[in-house]
Amino acid sequence: MTQPIETVLRDVIASHMKIEPATVVPEATLEQLGITSLDLVEIIMSIEDAYDVTMPLDANEAWSSIRTVGDIIALGHSLGFGGGD
């Protein structure tokens, strides 16, 4: 995957949540975007598919530790998923 995690994540969230990509910014909270714990699991699975990897966290861990789009971006960077825009 050559696209930066920010781009992939924006596209995945916007598509999954049926919202405008411009609203998917790092400071947006999952709550602001209407993302539930099930949505988060599906978003993580889509990112895993895009990068052909498995993220090392379970659903409960993800829901308790990820609060913003920026948190998901930071996780992606920590795992080496693409650079910045």
The pLDDT tens digits of the residues spanning 52-69 come to 888 877 777 888 889 999
Segments in 1-85 forming alpha helices (H)? 5-17, 37-51, 59-65, 69-78
- Give the integer Cα–Cα distance in Å for 82 and 5: 5
Residue 84 belongs to some domain of the structure: no
Determine, yes or no, domain membership for 36: yes
Instruction: Tally the domains of the chain.
Output: 1
Q: How confident is the model at residue 85 (pLDDT cuts 50, 70, 90)?
A: very low
Instruction: Give yes or no for a contact between 38 and 28, defined as CB atoms under 8 angstroms apart.
Output: no
Q: Is residue 13 part of a domain?
A: yes
Q: Is 85 domain-assigned?
A: no
**Cα(41)–Cα(58) distance, rounded to whole angstroms?**
9
Contact predicate 13/76, CB 8 Å:
no
Q: What is the pTM of this model?
A: 0.83
What's 43's domain CATH number? 1.10.1200.10
Query: pLDDT (tens digit, 9 = 90+) per residue, 23-50?
Result: 999 999 999 999 999 999 999 888 888 8
In which domain, by residue range, is 25 found?
5-78
Q: Is residue 83 part of a domain?
A: no
Does 24 map to a domain?
yes
The pLDDT value given to residue 38:
92
